[in-house]
Structure 1
């Protein structure tokens, strides 16, 4: 029996900060993504940011008190669930009036200092998770992984990258969550690339202290140091294999230790870690990431593309519709080549027929064979077809076809396209499609530079009458 294709590639996707989910453009983009790709979970920053308004301290009768308000939380999560995607909760950043310091990150100033009062932080966590359980039911919330903080190994994301302070935060948080229900999923340490010792230190800490942990998490990016220009960043990329190596690192590190066998979630990954790097908008990005999507599920339980759309403001409000944002979609739902990579994967069958360094072939329960092929440089490949006649549809994205960025550049790189320009870009961003009737055997394909191709072959059941119709 053929191996099943792991679903790790669409088990989660990233988004901007929590508050952005209230915007129309964000909601329309998520609806499109869910319709054509269908992610299982969604993760973003800022659940406890001041713009979400959960932590609302006040003084009454001379006493310090806190009201926990969930007006925006409910709207966002209701919208997620209506679209068939569940939260992957990230607990952070620190509410300003609970923070021990003033250090912030991003244009929207997420506070990255420890709580001044860990009991008040625990009350915030208890109130939030308790509210979600009351509103959505314990069986539902048990399916939502809860991650403690984001990239605490970086000074920008956690004051002084203080590991002991993070461990204390994690312990308080995890124990609070387990007091609500022991089967709720909690984990960390959500580290960025470059500080791998944090994972083993985390494992030693939770084991020594008897702290609950249900999964481990880290991030993966393959870009080299940034070279900044106005409103953009330039970076070279390491080979795509480095992403798969990063995906595999937690299992390797934890082997033989107290956390061996725990689920591993890569809660952010992409080529560049900058939201203003044009590589995200290119056909190269799609061809580069194709082997990562095809093989990532072999080494981890989920890997979350950062992010599904360009409604995103970490370095400020974007100045152009194509600005190198992380998203699979631009603002106004223009599809980038990497969007098509995910949409192609969504059309694949569930059982693997064959796989190689440049292709993945699957079959579904009705006999439809699908093949995803990719190339950074022009090449010819041979794909197997079962015996019998097939109706074959080929969808292609490369430097010439399905390339939103090329069309936009040729249009003059309009920062704010008109309605007519948007319509033209939307059409030109679609893959190039051909079809043919082919006999079984081997299908030979020529792939161009930076190409991804989806081939769908369905058995022909002839229903035409024996007499001519023309």
Structure 2
């Protein structure tokens, strides 16, 4: 996992790594009214991040561990018991933990971290006197006692799924003395539907789910006058399923890029769920791909979703504009980068099968169309002269690990050499061309297949 984290840091430009379940029973004991604990296991993880110039984003809650088939069925699950059951014990541990972090990593370092507390149902945020607010206040004061610049927030509102409770949850939080430095949300494409006094979850076909549901939630925050300094989506994906073959496909790469582009300027931070397929390795994962939503396979092979982030990392510091399919940027010194996609919408067939039962052979039937798109761009007020454009792209014919594996008949139990062959095949195609500008307008056009993603990297030639 550490090797894969370093690959993602180097090639994707991630700065924060979110970690959770730092409090586990076998590292803490309450005896004779006092607490004994060992932070060494947490230290090993945080040491690795800090030594590699990565910033921890620490979830303070007790999250259950699931390997999910669908919204309502799991391959395995493990509840994570809350081990602190009274205010005094939690206050003692949180204050000692905060002191330990500062003493080990220093003030300047920890001030750049984020601490989040998820609204676990067991903490009962629906009650204004619920345990969640006690826990948040204790953690908040323990960390702020060290430095007011440390960021503490929550509560992981599930976009679309918590929509019937938004106002009640926010109103309860407004009544508390302590307010969050940032508000966090989770985004998976499911809606909670109310029918005959019953509630049930339903997969959403909204291709703009993250943006649309974020806008709805932001409207509630404005109505309740509870806007925080920062708004984070700390978990996002189209699915919670760890066995959905769409996650390994070019279609998912295009969805990831589309979501990132839409979210520019709409939220402050986004945490993709999740980095590696190692997270849900189990007895049924003997194949090269098994439908988990990691960016890297168990063997460290890069998926189209990985390259979506890789191409986004090409973007320059100055935003020139964005469209439904693209974002344009420049460094102001003769370099221009265009990142674009041809993301397709799900049709009704996507909701007709359980996610774990979708087959790779069925994927084309799940989208409204498979048409190519032709994009044209004009960038004004550029230097006349020659430019070199490098084009990087991933589609079903180039760079898709799922399609390379398909050429091997989706066989399992491959040899080390065969896995290495797939690794080499799952790389973007690269082309180069020269562009001449005479009238101060840089004109670029490109054609994208269905589910294709591209990065156009353009450099002025001095």
TM bucket normalised to smaller: 0.7 to 0.9
Aligned to 1:449: 450
Given candidates 375, 394, 399, the residue that maps to 1:397 is: 394
Helix, strand or coil for the counterpart of 1:454?
strand
Aligned to 1:32: 7
Aligned to 1:339: 306
Equivalent pair of 1:190/1:218 in contact (CA under 8 Å): yes
Q: CA RMSD in A?
A: 2.6
Equivalent pair of 1:267/1:302 in contact (CA under 8 Å): yes
What displacement does 1:171 show? 3.0
Helix, strand or coil for the counterpart of 1:300?
coil
Given candidates 180, 184, 191, the residue that maps to 1:213 is: 180
Rounded Cα–Cα distance in structure 2 between residues aligned with 1:254 and 1:314: 38
Equivalent pair of 2:181/2:228 in contact (CA under 8 Å): no
Rounded Cα–Cα distance in structure 2 between residues aligned with 1:316 and 1:446: 42
Rounded Cα–Cα distance in structure 2 between residues aligned with 1:236 and 1:107: 21
Counterpart check, 1:369 vs 2:336: yes
Counterpart check, 1:152 vs 2:120: yes
Given candidates 417, 424, 428, the residue that maps to 2:425 is: 428
Equivalent pair of 1:322/1:415 in contact (CA under 8 Å): no
Equivalent pair of 2:125/2:133 in contact (CA under 8 Å): no
Aligned to 2:155: 189
Rounded Cα–Cα distance in structure 2 between residues aligned with 1:68 and 1:250: 39
Unaligned runs of 5+ in 1: 1-25, 96-104, 226-234, 462-470
- Quick one: higher RCO (CA 8 Å, sep 6+), 1 or 2? 1
Equivalent pair of 2:338/2:457 in contact (CA under 8 Å): yes
Helix, strand or coil for the counterpart of 1:438?
strand
Equivalent pair of 2:394/2:428 in contact (CA under 8 Å): yes
Helix, strand or coil for the counterpart of 2:264?
helix
Helix, strand or coil for the counterpart of 1:453?
strand
Aligned to 1:174: 140
Equivalent pair of 1:29/1:332 in contact (CA under 8 Å): no
- TM-score normalised by the chain length of structure 1: 0.80
Aligned to 2:374: 380
Equivalent pair of 1:204/1:258 in contact (CA under 8 Å): no
Matched positions, count: 407
Counterpart check, 1:71 vs 2:44: no
What displacement does 1:325 show? 1.2
The CA deviation string for residues 253-280 of structure 1, in whole angstroms up to 9 with x for no partner, is: 2115442243111100011111221111
The CA deviation string for residues 60-91 of structure 1, in whole angstroms up to 9 with x for no partner, is: xxx24322211111111111122221111101
The CA deviation string for residues 298-345 of structure 1, in whole angstroms up to 9 with x for no partner, is: 211111111111121387774433111121111121000010010111
Helix, strand or coil for the counterpart of 2:278?
coil
What displacement does 1:384 show? 2.5
Aligned to 2:218: 251
Equivalent pair of 1:350/1:362 in contact (CA under 8 Å): yes
Q: 1:224 to 1:278 in 2, by over 3 A?
A: farther
Q: 1:170 to 1:91 in 2, by over 3 A?
A: same
Q: How does 1:10-409 map to 2 (within 5 A)?
A: 26-50=1-25, 53-57=26-30, 59=31, 63-93=32-62, 107=76, 109-113=78-82, 115-149=84-118, 151-153=119-121, 158=122, 163=127, 164-193=130-159, 194-196=161-163, 198-223=165-190, 238-255=205-222, 257-313=224-280, 318-376=285-343, 377-384=371-378, 386=382, 387-409=384-406
Rounded Cα–Cα distance in structure 1 between residues aligned with 2:459 and 2:435: 10
Q: 1:318 to 1:110 in 2, by over 3 A?
A: farther
Helix, strand or coil for the counterpart of 1:259?
coil
Rounded Cα–Cα distance in structure 1 between residues aligned with 2:75 and 2:229: 32
Rounded Cα–Cα distance in structure 2 between residues aligned with 1:384 and 1:409: 38
What displacement does 1:223 show? 4.9
What displacement does 1:167 show? 2.9
Helix, strand or coil for the counterpart of 1:298?
coil
The CA deviation string for residues 407-429 of structure 1, in whole angstroms up to 9 with x for no partner, is: 11221324343221121111111
Equivalent pair of 1:107/1:315 in contact (CA under 8 Å): no
Helix, strand or coil for the counterpart of 1:46?
coil
Equivalent pair of 1:396/1:433 in contact (CA under 8 Å): yes
Aligned to 2:346: none
